[in-house]
């Protein structure tokens, strides 16, 4: 029998959608993503981008506090044992927030499949959803909340040293021995770059932030953090030309190019972390849903999560190249569930 609603994605948008859909008795089925090496490298493991971040200081309702007891009582002990629950006062971390949302969705009856959706057939009704694991599922309504993944520059040298010093996730890889007490490079000038650079100062002897302009894009509070950190050195007006290294040591440095006079400069570094923005995860749609010029799913009505295909809704970063915050993703997740619920009712599907 066809599902009433299938939700693809397991970030704040996916879980908020699931919480609302479950409470509307739609018995949602969530595909949270597969645990594969490919997904690890591209940053698309279950729980999305927030699982790759540290403290989330701006999610309303989570001021810094001692969350240990709360987490221990709220989250399934089987999953809690794999989490690094911190003692003492801190803001909720990305992984903690995602586990809390996931558990909240389960508490209301959400079912979860740990697999990737690789293809959807939107020509047929009910829609058909196919997974990496080879299973097929039908759904009357579909909510796409697949988020976005970190960009790389596309340099051959960057590709050559992936997993040997080149990464797009400081939180995942920063504590590796190869990065300890060594100079590191972060590329980018947005909030992610500052967050990654700040995080890496815990391990690195120095962090060079390479930015192509003379002004950071990051929010004021994050800028102050970067500029006030003695271990962070800004390399203004430079781009990354080449990652340097060898087979034995992996990354040993970078060659930078000045955006002002094309001058070259070399910096020693044992790691390079890319933080240059994101690309929406729309591959599973294979051209069946209209996208914006930038490749994000197009919302076809103002203040609605409707897409170009009736019965398909989009929530979170996969459809938002503007706000891209955890809380706005969660908000559009709620909207998508309400939109889907109302559409299903209008179609007489209960």
Please identify every residue annotated as catalytic.
169, 172-173
A 10 A CB-CB count for 185 gives 30
User: Which 278-297 positions form the footprint of ligand NAP (CB under 6 A)?
Assistant: 278
**Tokens for 30?**
């969530």
Complex with ligand NAP: residue 208 or 278, whichever CB lies closer: 278
| Min separation Cβ 137 and ligand NAP, Å | 31
Report which of 328, 350, 339 is spatially closest to residue 147, judged by C-alpha positions: 328
* Contacts for 290 with CB less than 8 Å, ≥ 6 apart: 297, 298, 300, 307, 308
Please tell me whether residue 195 binds ligand NAP under the rule CB under 6 A: yes
Please tell me whether residue 239 binds ligand NAP under the rule CB under 6 A: yes
Please tell me whether residue 331 binds ligand NAP under the rule CB under 6 A: no
Upper half-sphere CA count for residue 238 (Cβ side, 13 Å): 22
Q: What are phi and psi of 153, to 5 degrees?
A: -75, -25
Complex with ligand NAP: residue 103 or 325, whichever CB lies closer: 325
From first CA to last CA, the distance across the chain in angstroms is 13
Please tell me whether residue 320 binds ligand NAP under the rule CB under 6 A: no
Please tell me whether residue 324 binds ligand NAP under the rule CB under 6 A: yes
Binding mask 120-159 for ligand NAP (x = CB under 6 A): ---------------------------------x------
Could you tell me which residues are beta bridge partners of residue 131? 117
Contact (Cβ atoms closer than 8 angstroms) between residue 315 and residue 144: yes
Residue 172: burial class (beta carbons within 10 Å; 0-12, 13-18, 19+): middle
Span from 34-42, 73-81, 93-101, 188-196 in contact with ligand NAP (CB under 6 A) = 188-196
Cα–Cα distance measured from residue 300 to residue 188, given in angstroms and rounded to the nearest whole number: 32
Upper half-sphere CA count for residue 185 (Cβ side, 13 Å): 30
Please tell me whether residue 225 binds ligand NAP under the rule CB under 6 A: no
Identified binder of ligand NAP from the candidate list 29, 276, 285, 289, rule CB under 6 A? 276
| Min separation Cβ 16 and ligand NAP, Å | 17
Span from 11-19, 39-47, 249-257, 274-282 in contact with ligand NAP (CB under 6 A) = 274-282
Complex with ligand NAP: residue 217 or 304, whichever CB lies closer: 217
Complex with ligand NAP: residue 169 or 306, whichever CB lies closer: 169
Binding site for ligand NAP (CB under 6 A): 58, 153, 187-193, 195, 212-213, 217, 239, 275-278, 324
């Amino acid at each position: 029998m066809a599902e009433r609603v299938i939700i693809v994605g397991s970030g704040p948008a996916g879980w908020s959608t699931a919480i609302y859909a479950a409470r509307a008795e739609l018995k949602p089925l969530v595909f949270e993503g597969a645990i594969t090496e490919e997904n690890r490298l591209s940053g698309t493991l279950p729980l999305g981008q927030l699982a790759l971040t540290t403290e989330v200081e701006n999610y309303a309702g989570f001021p810094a506090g001692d969350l240990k007891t709360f987490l221990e009582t709220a989250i399934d002990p089987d999953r809690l044992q794999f989490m690094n629950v911190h003692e003492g006062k801190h803001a909720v971390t990305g992984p903690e927030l995602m586990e809390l949302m996931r558990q909240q969705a389960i508490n209301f009856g959400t079912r979860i499949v740990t697999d990737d959706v690789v293809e959807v057939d939107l020509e047929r009704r009910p829609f058909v959803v196919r997974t990496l694991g080879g299973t097929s599922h039908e759904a009357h309504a579909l909510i796409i909340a697949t988020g976005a993944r970190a960009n790389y520059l596309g340099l051959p040298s960057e590709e050559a040293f992936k997993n040997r010093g080149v990464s797009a996730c400081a939180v995942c890889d920063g504590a590796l021995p190869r990065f300890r007490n060594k100079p590191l490079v972060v590329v980018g000038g947005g909030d992610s770059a500052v967050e990654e650079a700040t995080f890496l100062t815990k391990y690195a002897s120095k962090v060079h932030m390479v930015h192509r302009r003379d002004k950071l894009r990051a929010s004021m509070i994050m800028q102050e953090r970067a500029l006030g950190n003695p271990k962070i050195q800004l390399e203004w007006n430079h781009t990354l030309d080449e990652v340097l290294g060898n087979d034995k040591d992996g990354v040993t440095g970078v060659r930078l190019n000045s955006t002002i006079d094309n001058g070259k400069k070399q910096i020693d570094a044992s790691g390079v972390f890319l933080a240059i923005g994101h690309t929406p995860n729309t591959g599973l749609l294979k051209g069946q849903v209209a996208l914006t010029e930038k490749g994000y799913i197009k919302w076809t009505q103002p203040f609605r999560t409707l897409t170009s295909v009736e019965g398909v809704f989009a929530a979170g970063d996969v459809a938002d190249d503007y706000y891209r915050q955890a809380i706005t993703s969660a908000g559009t997740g709620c909207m998508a569930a309400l939109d889907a619920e109302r559409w299903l009712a209008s179609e007489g599907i209960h």
